[in-house]
Amino acid sequence: MSKVTGWLKKQNIPGIVYGSVLIFLFFSIIEKKFFTPYNVMLIARNSCILLTVSIGMTMAVLIGQVDLSVGSVMSVSAVMVKNGVPLAAALMAAFGAAALFGLVNGILIAVLKVDYWITTFATMSIGAGLALVISDGSTVPISSKFLDFLGNGKVCGVYFLIVLTIVLTVLILFLLKRSKLGYDVYSIGGSENVARLSGLDVNRTRMMVYLISSLIAALAGILITGMTNSASPIVGSEYSFNALAAVVIGGTSLNGGKGGVAGTVFGTVLLRIIASGLAMLGVPATWQKVIQGLIIVVIIVADVSSEKKKDVNGLRRIYAND
């Protein structure tokens, strides 16, 4: 047992991984129907939309900022898809609108130096209002075989939505770990001044991050339209803050430069595991958010305490060597 514990410590596994496994085991023990192939598949499927949005949010947080507008971009993109409008044109409009939001955020924040909280909160409000105007404030039913396949279709028994989300996650992982843009993102998050002195184009990188974040949010809006076969002007209303929670729970520092998409995957899955477990136990919806919040706080505190302990131990080793 001691050997296993020692091996786990050497792997430097984030606390979020342990938290996810423990909570999954907890629900599996007290609710027999929780750990079944059907429910596991359902949790994976329900994680896809939030993970998609959270991937874009992760990039924004890695540069030491946030993008509160992702939920509203989802809503705008969703209501762009209407019956009677050619699907190709609707998709172009959805991604075009998202690109506009991303560029506006990028220009205001990177070029004009407007505070990112104020900027993305403002575009979040504009997007929310625009979605209501476009849809006339009502949810519109959507009939599209293509969108239905994206949201509900299966390939070899697995939801295509899960496959698509995995592909997107791998692509962004590669972008962050193996490309110049990814290097620039981590460099800016680590120290903007050092990044500038190193010759990095900080403004361009920030604009690219917000553009990518908005385009990914648009994809999430289109996917959720396919899942529900409807376009709602408020479909993304809770996703901005849920995405930020998934990113922070996953270990990405709000100061930037530390963390990444891998942690966000666990943060997203953890949120969905908690939601599924509480629902299966019959916990009233009014209490689910309270319990979910408490569990998340405990996990974050435990993870932060673990990181501080590692930092202290690291300093001790440095002084010992001196």
Spatial distance between the Cα atoms of 42 and 96, rounded to a whole number of angstroms: 31
pLDDT of 158 above 50: yes
Q: What is the tens place of the pLDDT at every residue in 70-81? A: 999 999 999 998
Contacts of 92 by beta carbon, 8 Å cutoff, 6+ apart: none
**pLDDT band at 17; cut points 50, 70, 90:** confident
In a domain, 109, yes or no: yes
pLDDT, tens only, 81-115: 876 689 999 999 999 999 999 999 999 999 999 99
Indicate whether 179 belongs to any domain.
yes
Structural domain total, the chain: 1
pLDDT at residue 33 in the model = 87
Q: Which domain holds residue 163?
A: 43-264
Report if residue 288 sits inside a domain.
no
Residue 248 lies in a domain: yes
Q: Which residue has the higher pLDDT, 306 or 230?
A: 230
Q: Is residue 30 part of a domain?
A: no
Does position 204 have pLDDT exceeding 80, yes or no?
yes
Of 2-6, 121-125, 291-295, the poorest mean pLDDT is in 2-6
> pTM to 2 decimals?
0.88
Q: Domain for residue 27, yes or no?
A: no
> What pLDDT band is residue 315 in, cutting at 50, 70 and 90?
very low
Q: Nearest-CA neighbor of 212 among 79, 47, 48, 55?
A: 55
Instruction: Report if residue 11 sits inside a domain.
Output: no
23 domain residue, yes or no: no
Of the listed ranges 99-103, 134-138, 146-150, the least confidently predicted one is: 134-138
For the cut 50, the answer to whether the pLDDT of residue 168 exceeds it is yes
Q: What is the mean pLDDT of the chain?
A: 87
DSSP assignment of 142-209: ---HHHHHHHH-EETTEEHHHHHHHHHHHHHHHHHHHSHHHHHHHHHHH-HHHHHHTT--HHHHHHHH
